[in-house]
């Protein structure tokens, strides 16, 4: 059985740093791994990927030393099952407003009688033990709406949930706050702290989308453990700007 690299990292480290993949790439996870990141998230909600694309990438990067998570737009069991069968360590379910939705997401990762996942591992290294396959999966519910914020304590109490994950941009929109640098806005920051405290009280992981290193440092100081720093496009752009500035003799 291939162990969950994400569960290992969360058990060993105070802060687990992630990159974000929005398009079909094998180089992206490799380069994030080379840079020392702990995990990459694959986005099939907003990215140029679907669950079948991600399943193929996951099989190709099986031996890349980095943990993997997949953001899915809902708790629909078929796409969740497909990426888990390909070896994803975690799923991050978008727009969770109620504990019932979080429970549906957990059920999609568990086999009967605990859940509704269909058996079909795609990687030999995963083994064939249903209990072990289910146990290696971490489920995160995204808190990114006013409704989700109001229900955060009940969501955090859902059995089998590994953690909650804040989407600051949608949360800001829901609260009537600016999207840019959302976590520096007073209302959004208060909401973010509320989510972190609810997770801590429930004994589960608090995760968040930061978008850059300085914001990630700030959110780590607030108690978040699972922090996504940059998408592959942002990392490429930052590196490209630095190379061009060096070549042109600019600071």
**pLDDT tens, residue by residue, 78-115:** 999 999 999 999 999 999 999 999 999 999 999 999 99
Q: Are 90 and 8 in contact (CB under 8 A)?
A: no
Catalytic residues: 46
- What domains appear along the chain, each with residue ranges and CATH number? 5-247 (3.20.20.60)
**pLDDT tens, residue by residue, 170-224:** 999 999 999 999 999 999 999 999 999 999 999 999 999 999 999 999 999 999 9
Q: Are 85 and 120 in contact (CB under 8 A)?
A: yes
Instruction: Report the pLDDT value the prediction gives residue 251, as an integer from 0 to 100.
Output: 66
Kindly give, in sequence order, each residue whose CB lies less than 8 Å from that of residue 139, ignoring residues fewer than 6 positions away.
Answer: 90, 91, 93, 102, 105, 106, 109, 160, 161, 162
Report pTM.
0.96
Half-sphere exposure of residue 90, counting CA atoms within 13 Å on the CB side?
A: 34
Q: C-alpha angle 231/236/239, rounded to 5°?
A: 125
């Amino acid at each position: 059985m291939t162990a969950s690299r994400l569960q290992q990292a969360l058990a060993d480290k105070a802060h687990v740093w992630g990159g974000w993949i929005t398009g079909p790439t094998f180089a992206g996870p490799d380069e994030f791994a080379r840079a020392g990141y702990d995990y990459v998230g694959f986005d099939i909600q907003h990215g140029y990927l679907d669950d079948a694309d991600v399943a193929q990438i996951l099989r190709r990067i099986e031996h890349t030393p980095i943990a993997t998570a997949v953001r899915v737009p809902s708790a629909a069991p078929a796409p969740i099952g497909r990426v888990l069968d390909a070896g994803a360590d975690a799923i991050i379910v978008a727009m969770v407003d109620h504990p019932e939705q979080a429970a549906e997401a957990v059920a999609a990762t568990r086999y009967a009688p605990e859940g509704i996942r269909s058996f079909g591992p795609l990687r030999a290294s995963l083994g064939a033990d249903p209990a072990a396959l289910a146990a290696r999966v971490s489920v995160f519910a995204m808190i990114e709406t006013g409704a989700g914020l109001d229900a955060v304590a009940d969501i955090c109490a859902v059995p089998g949930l590994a953690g909650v994950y804040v989407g600051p941009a949608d949360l800001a929109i829901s609260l009537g706050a600016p999207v840019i640098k959302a976590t520096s806005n007073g209302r959004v920051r208060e909401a973010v702290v509320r989510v972190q405290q609810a997770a801590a009280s429930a004994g589960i992981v608090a995760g968040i989308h930061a978008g850059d290193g300085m914001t990630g440092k700030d959110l780590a100081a607030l108690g978040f453990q699972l922090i996504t720093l940059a998408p592959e496009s942002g990392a490429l752009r930052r590196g490209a700007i630095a190379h061009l500035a060096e070549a042109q003799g600019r600071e």
